[in-house]
Structure 1
Amino acid sequence: MSLTALYQHIEQHEWVDIPEGWLQGRTIYGGLVAGMMMQKALITLADTGRRLLSCNVTFVGPVQLAPVRLAAEILRQGKSVTTIEVRLWQDDAVQSILLVSFGVPRESSIVVNQERIAPTFPEVETLKIAEHHPLAPQCFQQMDLAWVDGQYPCTASRKPDFSGWMRFNPLKHENRKMTEADLLVSMDMWPPGVLPMFKTMAPASSLTWTLTYVHPLQSNVHNWFKYKVFTDYAADGYATEYAHLWDDQDRLIAIARQTVTVFA
């Protein structure tokens, strides 16, 4: 099932079958879970005049390759901002929660342009797209990732963090206009910033994920994006990090902050 077909199914049904090809270990890739909930929120909003402002995802429990139920509620619809909560249910329990805010532009005298400038990367054609390692999560095949700096996961690096180019794999996804749901599906594909420090393969998973949407998407799913992650702190089995995403025109699209559980 393509993402387009999945989104259409979410629009028409309360219960949704998760497509194959998105496993992350024994559970479903968190980005797909977040993207499904975002699609449910967009359908519930039903207002193209209100743009995504921010969202927060809490991954309560593991989602299996089995049907899920998506339930959405508009918590408040004000003059400027609409706030929606989406819950993903499986096995009679809430497994993930999305809290998302949409808003309309408002007149304001306050203008600040201090956004993080996009780094200068080598042309992606000069880089090697990361090959899918047999032990890597199945979901990595859905994206093309090309490291620019930093080390690969599980290479015993002395330092965390990395940057690189990313896009949906053209062999698995038809080219079309990118949506906010696609943004969540794709941006979570990069591993946590501390993973290069792992000496051997070991689990690490997102606990909470907060995303602030900056400039509206003007890209197709086959366009490349720039990504850079920075780890603030890691100890006692948890890490906190933030990441920036720019499109191929160097527009800042999103800023993400994440709490990661570390099992190494």
Structure 2
Amino acid sequence: MSLTALYEQIQQSDTVDIPQGWLQGRTIYGGLVAGMLMQKAVLAVADEGKRLLSASVTFVGPVQLSSVKLTAEILREGKSVTTVEVRLWQDGAVQSILLASFGAQRESSIQVSHERAAPDYPAVEDLQIAQHHPLAPECFKQMQMAWAEGQYPCTAAQQPDFGGWFRFDPAWHENREMTVADLMVAFDMWPPGVLPMYTRMAPASSLTWHLTYVHPLQHQVQDWFKYKVFTDYAGDGYSTEYAHLWDAEGRLIAISRQTVTVFA
């Protein structure tokens, strides 16, 4: 099932069948879960005059390859901002929650442009697209990723963090206009920043994820984007990190902050 077909299913029914190809270990990849929640939020808001401002996701429990139920509640609908909560249910329990704010543009005398500049990476054609390791999560096949700095996961690196280019793999995803649901699906595909420090294969998973949407998407699904992650702190089985996403022209699209559970 394509993402387009999945989004159509979300529009037609509260109960959705999760497609094949998105496993991350024994559970479903969190980015796909976040994308489903966001698609439900967009449908619930149903206001083209309001664009996504920010979203917070809490991954309460593991989501299995089975049907799920999505419920949405508008918490407040103001003139400028609408706040919506979406929950994903499986087997009668809440497994993930999204809280998102959508806002209309307003006149303001305050203008600040201190966005972090995009890194000057080599052209993606001059880099090697990472091959899917047999022990890597199944969901990685959905994307093309080219490391431009830092080390690969599980290479016993002395320092965390990395960056590079990525996009939806054209072999799996037809080209079309990219949506904010697609953004959620794509943005979370990079592994946690501490994974290069792992000395062996071991799990790590997002616990909470906050995303700030900066410049609106004007892109196609198969367009390349730049990504860079920075780990603030890691210890006692958790890490906290932030990451930036730019388009190929260097426009800052989104900023994320995550709390990650570390099993190494």
Q: Please indicate the TM-score interval, normalised by the length of the shorter structure.
A: over 0.9
Structure 2 equivalent of residue 95 of structure 1: 95
Matched positions, count: 264
Q: In the alignment, what sits opposite 2:199? A: 199
SS in 1 for 2:8: helix
Shift of 1:235: 0.3
RMSD of aligned residue pairs (Cα, Å): 0.3
Task: Tell me the equivalent position of 2:134.
Answer: 134
Q: Which residue of 1 aligns with 2:30?
A: 30
Q: Residue type of the partner of 1:21? A: G
Residue 208 of structure 1 is matched in structure 2 by 208
SS of match in other structure, 2:186: helix
SS at match of 1:4: helix
C-alpha separation in 1, matches of 2:224 and 2:125: 11
Once residues 126 and 163 of structure 2 are traced to their aligned partners in structure 1, the CA distance between those partners, rounded to angstroms, is 15
**Aligned equivalents of 1:119 and 1:157: distance in 2?**
21
Q: How does 1:213-252 map to 2 (within 5 A)?
A: 213-252=213-252
- The answer to whether the aligner puts 1:50 opposite 2:50 as a matched pair is yes
Question: Secondary structure of 1:128's partner?
Answer: coil
TM-score (normalised: structure 1): 1.00
How far apart are the structure 1 equivalents of 2:78 and 2:69? 27
Q: 1:171 Cα shift?
A: 0.2
| Structure 2 counterparts to residues 107-118 of structure 1, below 5 A | 107-118=107-118
What amino acid is the match of 1:235?
G
Q: 1:231 is paired with a residue of what secondary structure?
A: strand
TM superposition score normalised by structure 2: 1.00
- SS of residue matched to 2:255: strand
Q: Distance in 1 between matches of 2:48 and 2:19?
A: 27
After TM superposition, give the deviation of residue 123 of structure 1 in Å. 0.4
- Structure 1 residue matching 2:136: 3-state secondary structure: coil
Shift of 1:249: 1.2
Q: For 1:79-105, what per-residue CA distance to the aligned partner results, in whole angstroms no more than 9, with x for missing partners?
A: 100000000000110000000000000
- C-alpha separation in 2, matches of 1:50 and 1:78: 11
> 2:4 is matched with which residue?
4
Deviation of residue 261 (structure 1)?
0.3
Q: Quick one: distance in 1 between partners of 2:236 and 2:12? A: 44
CA distance in 1, matches of 2:219, 2:82: 25
Identity over aligned pairs, percent: 74
* Structure 2 spans left out of the alignment, 5+ residues: none
Q: Deviation of residue 48 (structure 1)?
A: 0.9
Partner SS, residue 65 of structure 2 = coil
Alpha-carbon distance between aligned partners in 1 of 2:71 and 2:147, rounded to the nearest angstrom: 37
Aligned counterparts of 1:131 and 1:81: Cα–Cα separation in 2: 43
- SS of residue in 2 equivalent to 1:182: helix
